[in-house]
Amino acid sequence: MTETQDNRSLYDICGREYFVALVDAFYDGVETDSILMAMYPDGADTTEARQRLTLFLVQYWGGPHDYMEQRGHPMLRMRHGGFAIDAQARDRWLLHMASAIEHTLHLVPEPERDSVVQQLASYVVNAAEHLRNQ
């Protein structure tokens, strides 16, 4: 997790509601993507995936540790290891996440908007590449 210049976390700046909106916007896009939806064991029902990603992002960006309490250490590579994540899947995931970030910009306070977007974008690019296994 990184912090802004005044040492507030992204969670402190944006709040839980921001991460819920970000994840909802992301999964609204994912649900239209046949490449990515093929990886979801629950099919078109992304309810649990949305909850898990929200808890993870909230914790990662400085919020409560509900993810850790409910699911243990994130271990992202292990949790995603059973899925074939190639460059195309990575790029599709990034496309939907970038769209979600853009879609939720209005929810980020203006003075911190550029910093928040930069930190989120940097993180998701690194995370997506880290999870690529093909």
In a domain, 3, yes or no: no
- Whether 27 and 94 have beta carbons less than 8 Å apart is answered as no
In a domain, 34, yes or no: yes
Query: Across the strands, what pairs with 3?
Result: 9
Locate 70 and state its tokens. 């409910």
pLDDT (tens digit, 9 = 90+) per residue, 90-104?
999 999 999 999 999
CATH code assigned at 31: 1.10.490.10
In a domain, 1, yes or no: no
User: Alpha-carbon distance 77 to 4, whole Å?
Assistant: 27
Looking at the structure of the chain, the number of domains it has is 1
At residue 84 the predicted structure's pLDDT band, cuts being 50, 70 and 90, is confident
Locate 4 and state its tokens. 């802004």
Intra-chain end-to-end CA distance of the chain, in Å: 27
pLDDT (tens digit, 9 = 90+) per residue, 98-133?
999 999 999 999 999 999 999 999 999 999 999 888
Domain enclosing residue 117, as ranges: 10-131
